[in-house]
Amino acid sequence: MKNRAVFLDRDNTLIHDDGFIHEPEKVKLLPGVPEGLKLLKESGYLLIVTSNQSGIGRGYFQEDDFHAVNRKLQEFLKPYGVQIDDFFFCPHRPEDGCNCRKPRTGMVEKAAEKWNIDVSESFVIGDRDSDIQLAVNAGCKGGVKVRTTLFPDFLSAAKHIVSLGDES
């Protein structure tokens, strides 16, 4: 049997980012994130980050900095009893034309292969139109854009996904 996943944008979806975050000490969880992640996990979804990180390709920071921010995120989530299952990222600049930069599907394809994911039963949560377009391009069941009138925080998005997932 294949797994279901929620593909998560990281910056301004899970953590606050005022531009190319790469310092672990600046990591700050956004409202509803731990509770929403826990709800998704308890509902049987893998939690997979898919993140465009063009700051690496632009030379603003190193890949190690990206991983350090991820470790800090995991550290903040630990007291809530939830962890991200995996992190995928695109280090390329928009003009590089790679297949992994959202809304292209390279990161989702790699995750689906590694984790045996049924993409058609999976979702995307993000704060940009490119995240929602990723859901469409990859053939996901749906995409939810946070920080909107309908889904002001991560927990509201997670509750929506759980309700849609239960319809299958």
Q: List, for residues 75-94, the tens digit of each pLDDT value.
A: 999 999 999 999 999 999 99
Q: What total number of domains does the chain contain?
A: 1
129 catalytic residue (yes or no): no
Helix (H) or strand (E) segment spanning residue 51: strand 45-52
Q: Which residues are annotated as a binding site for Mg(2+)?
A: 9, 11, 127
Q: Name the binding residues for Zn(2+).
A: 90, 92, 98, 100
Q: Residue 85 maps to which CATH number?
A: 3.40.50.1000
pTM, whole model, 2 decimals?
0.96
What strands, in cross-sheet order, belong to the sheet with 4-8? 86-90, 45-52, 4-8, 123-126, 142-145
65 is catalytic: no
Task: Report how far residue 73's alpha carbon sits from residue 55's, in angstroms, rounded to the nearest whole number.
Answer: 18
- pLDDT, one tens digit per residue, over 126-163 is 999 999 999 999 999 999 999 999 999 999 999 999 99
In the DSSP assignment, the letter for residue 81 is T
Mean pLDDT value of segment 28-49: 98
Statement: residue 43 has pLDDT above 90: yes
Q: By three-state DSSP, how is residue 150 classified?
A: coil
What is the domain extent for residue 16? 4-124+131-165
List, as residue ranges, the binding site: 9, 11, 90, 92, 98, 100, 127
